[in-house]
Structure 1
């Protein structure tokens, strides 16, 4: 197979045949049609989950090392209790003053840079990134956007246009410029890449409005190091009048183990922060944190309201998540368990020729799968490992331009025993 760029949803996807024997899968395909996306060669019907484990209809349990949505653990009792209590009392929109909403926003702001005084709550990371781009354009009166070449930032019309990994046909809009993800070898050139992108935009008649970046560069293949490389690119964009939007939907909420936010790990202060997935531990919520002056410029032009964004039940879920992260020391556990996991993977890499570079921070790791003879990316072997681990009762995903990087994102509560369980299964599959 050639080393073509892989569309993000195809990397770990079920591919239906002419007929489908499983009636539950056939029912899903009938209902969703071409928009249906299921994982694995043999999709799994899930019925329950707790902690780091999910349970299928047939009773089999799976260690979930893929889904970063339930970041403090599936069905965490404190989150469940908070949601049940709040929905039993009141759930409405943000046109009313409800104490839990502002209590949550204040608790969230305590984790953010002081300059980001305003928080707008939404329902998804896509909505948050869409709003951030619109605010950036209003604040800068510019249009151009810079993203990395395999980035994913959402599924609205606007965010799809800045998500190269989601494109199936056609090229990028002329107001978008893509740059390579910063690898350990090229990170020192990140500022130069951003400068070249701005020059290319300018040549097409577009000033830069924003650099939009996921600070662990997940879809690009999980690139986290060296710490601090974002600074030169951010400075270049600001000198040109643009803004830096930190997309924390994946690295945020203590996942990297050394900071609550991915951008904080790099020592930069964004102009806006977007967040989502782990925010409500499975309850749909997301948000944008912005400088008041930027948000005011946008609201003078358009204004913003989201019926379900910032509802009291979402706020209760989010507040419970922040408390669990603090009370259970999950940032520290992400560092410790991630270190144990990374060390074990490093040991296995020395024993097999198919494992390449191991990257990441905390409980967000990427492992390149390569052909032992040439060292080139091996997407077929990557798919085989993912499905082999599924057969072993372990769930992971894929990332990277060629779909040849294993993406490992277990819940932050992962225990030593669960790390060792993963490593044992991984060793059996790569040796097979």
Structure 2
């Protein structure tokens, strides 16, 4: 039986025999250091979907969703360079580009989410979202999924089961199984709603009440669960009908990645009360945010002030605005749909002939590939997954793992990926799987 794995332990370098630049990093960061691969890579540059190592080796990046429109995109670079050479300050001053960005971002959000608070990280955005939900509802209970990861502040870590190495979740947090067939059979929608309602009842029994259902709408850390589109709506309706809020964590699925919609929650027909955003917003420049109803934000601010020195600075706004413009002008959402469908088709074809692939699922350019033992049991095989990840690294492909057991390949390339690059990945994965 495979054991549950903590998210940062997946394919992490163990530190044994470190020398040179790797030893220097470990000496500086100590126990908090997180390096990938059996032999960590020293990177020096990147462009588009490719990264360049110090030894001159090029790697196709199928892991990193932070540079969502492509590494070192010239339009983002130019916008950031121009703004930092002009003015960078905090939000205590009125600076036009900040509100230009907020208006452009709100134009892509549901109309009821009229207020956006900009932060520096998704962790901060989710921390604020939980605090707002508790202020609005008067309840403390949070419902998440079993292998969720929502950030690293003290509050958000309590709602991130996959971040916990020891101990258990606090009484105010209940984790329910991820929305897959293994837990809910054929009717994922009804099963996930029933699990949510059971969690609400337990939170009531504990005297906590339900403040929010907090979900990453692609369930990335759980192993990527996208379909059937719409399965999230009944659970969300149950929470909202009972007076709780729905927080849609769009750090992973937002900004066109699923192809079908600009937001992951939109694929499910959700009307979230709060939307949190992060990594892809600035294409590598730190910018994140929380969008909320004005009355909800006001309820929080009556008791607690909020100010973020770097959140919403003009350079971050310039990066964010450039990202939105690139997604639109280069039709990257459509590209995610088209190249993602091509990639998904190729992966399913490989799965049909390989006993080592248990399942393939996803939307757009966010796909999960479950790897398993080759026997009749077809159990999750995290050790084999690490072997495949390192074989892909040797072939010049960067990829990560996800899922409860760390046995799911997390396919998450930049939105600018071409069909030719997707084919190169498929060839390398075929070689790694069939060796």
Q: Distance in 2 between matches of 1:187 and 1:87?
A: 48
State the SS of the aligned residue for 1:62: strand
State the SS of the aligned residue for 2:302: helix
1:306 aligns with 2:308: yes
Q: Distance in 1 between matches of 2:213 and 2:420?
A: 40
1:324 aligns with 2:321: no
1:109 aligns with 2:106: yes
Is the alpha carbon distance of 1:134 and 1:235 closer, same or farther for their aligned partners in structure 2, counting shifts above 3 Å?
same
Q: Distance in 1 between matches of 2:203 and 2:4?
A: 23
* Equivalent residue in structure 2 for 1:177, among 145, 157, 174: 174
Q: Which residue of 2 aligns with 1:118?
A: 115
Q: Which residue of 2 aligns with 1:62?
A: 59
Per-residue deviation, 1:35:
0.3
Q: Distance in 1 between matches of 2:39 and 2:355?
A: 28
Q: Distance in 2 between matches of 1:398 and 1:148?
A: 17
Q: Which residue of 1 aligns with 2:281?
A: 279
Per-residue deviation, 1:186:
4.8
Q: Distance in 2 between matches of 1:293 and 1:20?
A: 53
Q: Distance in 2 between matches of 1:247 and 1:326?
A: 22
Q: Distance in 2 between matches of 1:254 and 1:124?
A: 19
State the SS of the aligned residue for 2:353: coil
1:15 aligns with 2:14: yes
Q: Which residue of 2 aligns with 1:405?
A: 408
Per-residue deviation, 1:190:
1.2
After the TM superposition, which parts of structure 1 deviate over 6 Å for at least 4 consecutive aligned residues? none
Q: Which residue of 2 aligns with 1:187?
A: 188
1:416 aligns with 2:419: yes
Q: Distance in 1 between matches of 2:327 and 2:6?
A: 33
Per-residue deviation, 1:351:
2.0
Per-residue CA deviations over 1:140-197 (Å, capped at 9, x if unaligned) read 1110000001000000000000000000010110000111111143512111111000
Q: Distance in 2 between matches of 1:166 and 1:149?
A: 11
Q: Distance in 1 between matches of 2:245 and 2:348?
A: 38
CA RMSD of aligned residues (A): 0.7
State the SS of the aligned residue for 2:401: strand
Per-residue deviation, 1:232:
0.9
1:395 aligns with 2:398: yes
Which range is displaced more, 325-334 or 372-381? 372-381
Per-residue deviation, 1:349:
1.1
Q: Distance in 1 between matches of 2:230 and 2:259?
A: 16
Q: Which residue of 2 aligns with 1:209?
A: 211
TM-score (ref. length: structure 2)? 0.98
Q: Distance in 1 between matches of 2:281 and 2:76?
A: 11
Q: Which residue of 1 aligns with 2:340?
A: 338
Per-residue deviation, 1:199:
0.7
Structure 1: runs of 5 or more not aligned: none
For these two proteins, the number of residue pairs brought into alignment is 429
1:7-406 maps to which residues of 2 (within 5 A)? Answer: 7-17=6-16, 19-21=17-19, 23-184=20-181, 185-188=186-189, 189-373=191-375, 374-406=377-409
State the SS of the aligned residue for 2:170: coil
Which range is displaced more, 24-33 or 225-234? 225-234
Q: Distance in 1 between matches of 2:135 and 2:2?
A: 39
Q: Distance in 2 between matches of 1:190 and 1:423?
A: 33
State the SS of the aligned residue for 1:350: helix
Structure 2: runs of 5 or more not aligned: none
Q: Distance in 2 between matches of 1:341 and 1:46?
A: 26
